[in-house]
Amino acid sequence: MTFICRFAPSPTGPLHIGGVRTALFNWLLAKKNKGKFYLRIEDTDKERSKDEFRKQIISSLNWLGIKHDGKEYIQSKNIKKHKEIADELIKKGFAYYCYCSEDEINEQKEKCKKQGIPYVYNRKWRDAKDLKIPENVKPVVRFKSKISGMSSIKDLVQGEMSLSNLTIEDFIILRQDNTPTYQLSATVDDHEMGITHVIRGDDHKINTFKQKQIYSALNWAVPEFAHIPLIHSETGKKLSKRDKASTIDDYIKTGILSDALRNYLLRLGWAHKDKEIFSLEESINLFDLKGVGKSPSKLDMSRILSINEYYIKHIEEKKLFELLKNYCEKFNKPVKSSKSSVILKSINFLKNKAKTLEDIYQNARYILNDEVKISAEDKNLINQSSKAILKDFLDSFEKIKKIDKNSLEEIINKLIKAHKTNFKGVGQPLRIVLTGSKFGPAVYDILRSLDKEEIIKRLKNI
RNA sequence: GGUCCCAUCGUCUAACGGUUAGGACAGAUGGUUUUCAAUCAUCUAAUCGGGGUUCGAUUCCCCGUGGGACCGCCA
């Protein structure tokens, strides 16, 4: 069996992390089964669709490593076909013109509200042979939805879902301005693209019942559906664009690695035994719909950071350096080319206490900046005796020929004895003077990553 | 409100109807290192409630409770 999957976002806003996960699951399923993964831009809402969002969606997907097969489908280009299908449905008696004005509909809704009963369009024009067609109303086209019995769908994630057909109204497939609605366009396009598996958010469950009726009216093969639970924000609500960390760009800016985010998203609502870390290859091989849970899951930033930390520590250092360089360039954090080689050489310890690329950058600032700024608070930590230690250090340091662990250890151990202190007594003031911070890489690492003159300069600065 | 769906540590989740209910993140404690946010070790912590079915229920069924989604001429 061939698997043809798709991701069909509308370019009405930046892609958020829930959408990314939907795309990922579709892509994984396609790759696993050596099928196809298509991208369809659903841009039929002309008012809200923006080309910049289309671009943002594609670049977000690419950043995660998700590439669609073939060229992207632009839904609006297929409108003519959608209309033809609407006509066909009318001819075959599966759809009809409805001349109810918007006022009339609103009236109905009001009435229902007052009576406390749920609104469903009253199907006034469904079989209206004797009704007089009003001249001043442009009609919409409605699909003749089933009015009796039950429908059920075997969902690959949700299992059996069923509902009474009466709860589905005669939904609109062609608007007053003769443009197709989502229910029609998506169904026609999925059919034309030969989609075999639709993985989408479970907010589409009801749509599936509607769309399935269109499939059967047209005698089209119905694809398999898998409705995955939505991702909730940390506060437990539906993820919205207002949530801070909701778009891919937010994560890129934080300094999250794409492999880490892919791994996190994969494990959110899906599991394979006790396994936590999945390489790209393992993701593809091990992913299955059976492992997807039915309940919504909350976003957990500390977990994202933790997985990110893992990837930072485990990927090849050269690659990490490239990622860091790109990150700094993108976010306007200057890295002089003269410092580049030092950073590359030092990345093995700069990454040590870092959860994000931003953290690595912060750890590297003492290399990148020529001026060391020491906060007043840290300056207070350097008292008179610390100054004496630093001075003695400088004297001995200037004399050594080669900066290596042995020579440095010798100096520092002598100082510890001479000043009757411990390593901290020497190490902390040294770190503050050299980096401007109490925290950071090991003192020996710092000393070996800076030029001798630079160290002397900084030591004299106190 | 109507319809549909869901329910295991704080979070993500594992567990052919039989496990001391497991792992990871977070949290706590302790060790180590050179400051620590690194590292190692240990610990705390869950089957929403009530009924069934069964020798036995986290697992199956019903009811309740809680949460979510949908209810657009948006997608």
The closest nt to A354, taking CA to C1', is: B37
Tell me the per-residue pLDDT of A46-86, one tens digit each, with 9 for 90 and over: 889 999 999 999 999 999 999 999 999 999 999 999 999 99
pTM: 0.93
pLDDT(A196) > 70: yes
Instruction: List, in order, residues 6 or more apart from A203 with CB less than 8 Å away.
Output: A230
Q: CA–C1' distance A302–B29 (Å)?
A: 21
User: What sign for the dihedral angle of Cα A380, A382, A383, A384?
Assistant: negative
Q: Give nucleotides in strand B with any atom < 7 A to a protein C-beta.
A: 1-8, 10-14, 22-26, 34-39, 67-75
The closest nt to A353, taking CA to C1', is: B38
Q: Which residues make beta-bridge pairs with A199? A: A226
pLDDT(A156) > 80: yes
The closest nt to A437, taking CA to C1', is: B35
What is the per-residue pLDDT for A242? 65
Tell me the per-residue pLDDT of A248-264, one tens digit each, with 9 for 90 and over: 999 999 999 999 999 99
Token pair 């009003």 is at which residue? A134
What is the per-residue pLDDT for A74? 97
Percent of chain A with pLDDT over 70: 99
Instruction: List, in order, residues 6 or more apart from A407 with CB less than 8 Å away.
Output: A400, A401
Q: What is the mean pLDDT of residues A153-170?
A: 93
Q: Which residue is nearest to nucleotide B73 (CA to C1')?
A: A175
What is the per-residue pLDDT for A371? 79
A223, A190 in Cβ contact below 8 A? yes
A116 vs A422: which has the higher pLDDT: A422
Q: CA–C1' distance A361–B23 (Å)?
A: 33
A174-196: b (≥16 Cβ within 10 Å) or e: beeeebbbbbbbbbbbbbebebb
Q: CA–C1' distance A427–B30 (Å)?
A: 25
Q: CA–C1' distance A295–B48 (Å)?
A: 15
The closest nt to A184, taking CA to C1', is: B75
ipTM of the complex: 0.94
The pLDDT-based confidence of A245 (bands split at 50, 70, 90) is: low
pLDDT(A189) > 70: yes
